Amino acid sequence: MASTSVSRIVPATPDHVWQLIGGFQALPDWLPYIPRSTSLEGGRARRLHNADGEVIVERMEGFSERERHYTYTILQAPFPVRGYVSTLRVHAVPGEPEAAEVQWSGRFTPDGVTEAEAVDLFTGIYSEGLDALHATLAG
């Protein structure tokens, strides 16, 4: 199983960041790669449409409002992986009350590509997503 993790310090309090990204249907609010999200299974799953019109279906597997994180799996996607599990997490930055660290990590089994190719794909998605989040918060 392969894995990757990307984190960014963003210019907002952890609570403010979590209010923006903590909702399972909130990706279109900060992630340009995903312009549309439709709730499924009473909010426990989501159907995402990426910028190319491809469909990604994900299910929430764990959520903590208090600890500011959620974990999800991919049920359907155009990505060359299987067994994908990811966590999006917001941390406080010691000594910087107006900043937060956002960590996006995932583990998966490459399917039809090398481990390096799969890791590069998701490292790029996470990096671009967190860069977009930073830009949104910096305003």
DSSP 26-84: -HHHH-TT--EEEEEGGGTEEEEE-TTS-EEEEEEEEEETTTTEEEEEEEE-SSSEEEE
Contact 27/39 with Cβ under 8 angstroms? no
Separation of first and last alpha carbons in the chain = 38
Give residue 5's pLDDT.
Answer: 98
| Sign of the alpha-carbon torsion through 72, 74, 78, 81 | positive
**Location of structure tokens 């399972």:** 24
Amino acid at 124: G
Q: Which residues of the chain have pLDDT under 50?
A: none
Q: Which residues contact 15 (CB under 8 A, 6 or more apart)?
A: none
Give residue 51's pLDDT.
Answer: 87
CA distance 91 to 101: 5
Give residue 139's pLDDT.
Answer: 79
